[in-house]
Amino acid sequence: MTTLPLAGRVALVTGAGNGIGLAIARVLAERGARVALNDLDLEAAARAAQTLGEAHLSVRADVSSEADVEAMVGEVRDAFGRIDILVNNAGVGDGGVPTLDQSLAVFERTLAIHVNGTFLMSRAVAAGMARQGGGAIINLGSIAGELGIPVRTAYSVAKAGISMMTRVLACEWARFGIRVNAVAPGYVRTRLVEGLITSGRLDARRIAARTPLGRMGQPEEIARVVAFLASQEASYVTGAIVPVDGGYTAFGGPFDAS
Ligand code: ADP
């Protein structure tokens, strides 16, 4: 019998009630991990955990709240005894508002959830991981953190912050045996993106044409790279921002890529 690659591991995935986070939780569970599914929306997390089976747990917390984060990490440790894998996935859109019309409140909230959230979550698990002899942290970046996309100021700055935090923490915590990496998804068929397409704010055909692989991604295609980075298969990978974008950021034009 082959052992599953993540057997015996405990994973905590933030924003796991929907979309990419849910796909990540599912793939980690399929590979043998026990998964704590966090979401601000506890009902969504509980529904998601139920679909994965009894070995898993749902936990509510706002990742931008220090008190929530500390309490949640304690709750997961009480339930499972350890945390080996942290996936910082919780996120929000910034409304796609032109910067001249963007409010400070939305700008700050976008940074608080992505940047403060990734900082608070990572800090909360790292000492425990170090005591266990190591762990893996995987952050969700974005093509928007690497390329300048108009009207995505807050989201892009937040995702660029996550990329740099990935590098800094990888360097700082290598001595603890903690690997810190990020995936940078391109356009993925999630509720958010489907909504933008339906409302006419995003042209699916043009995105496909701009993408060397000629299509958008599926949540599972992001999740499988996260699972790889979480596993021993990636034992010499740290501080990497892995594009999972069908070649979108590799393409320099001048015309359609596919
Ligand atoms: P995507 O499709 O890109 O994965 P979603 O909006 O479907 O995006 O998923 C993001 C998840 O993150 C949602 O379930 C949302 O409730 C959750 N989330 C948003 N803000 C927070 C927060 N502050 N703390 C925890 N979870 C959050």
- What's the 213 CA to ligand 1 centre distance in angstroms? 27
ipTM: 0.97
117 touches 90 (CB < 8 A): yes
Q: How far apart are CA 176 and CA 50, in angstroms?
A: 34
* pLDDT above 70: residue 129: yes
Ligand 1: residues within 6 Å at CB? 14-15, 17-21, 38-41, 44, 62-64, 90-92, 113, 190-192
Cβ density class 49-62: b for 16+ within 10 Å, e for less: beebeeebbbbbbb
Task: Tally the residues of the chain.
Answer: 258
**3-state class of 192 per DSSP?**
helix
- What's the 63 CA to ligand 1 centre distance in angstroms? 10
Q: What is the DSSP string of 44-109?
A: HHHHHHHHH-TT-EEEE--TT-HHHHHHHHHHHHHHHS---EEEE------TT--GGG--HHHHHH
pLDDT tens per residue across span 197-244: 999 988 999 999 999 999 999 999 999 999 999 999 999 999 999 999
The predicted model scores a pTM of 0.97
Q: Which of 39, 41, 60, 139 to mutate to test the pocket of ligand 1 (most atoms within 8 A of CB)?
A: 39
Q: Tell me the catalytic residues.
A: 155
174 touches 238 (CB < 8 A): yes
Q: How confident is the model at residue 1 (pLDDT cuts 50, 70, 90)?
A: low
Q: What is the mean pLDDT of the chain?
A: 97
Quick one: which atom of ligand 1 is closest to the CA of 191?
2
Q: How far apart are CA 162 and CA 141, in angstroms?
A: 6
**3-state class of 21 per DSSP?**
helix
- What's the 19 CA to ligand 1 centre distance in angstroms? 8
* pLDDT above 80: residue 191: yes
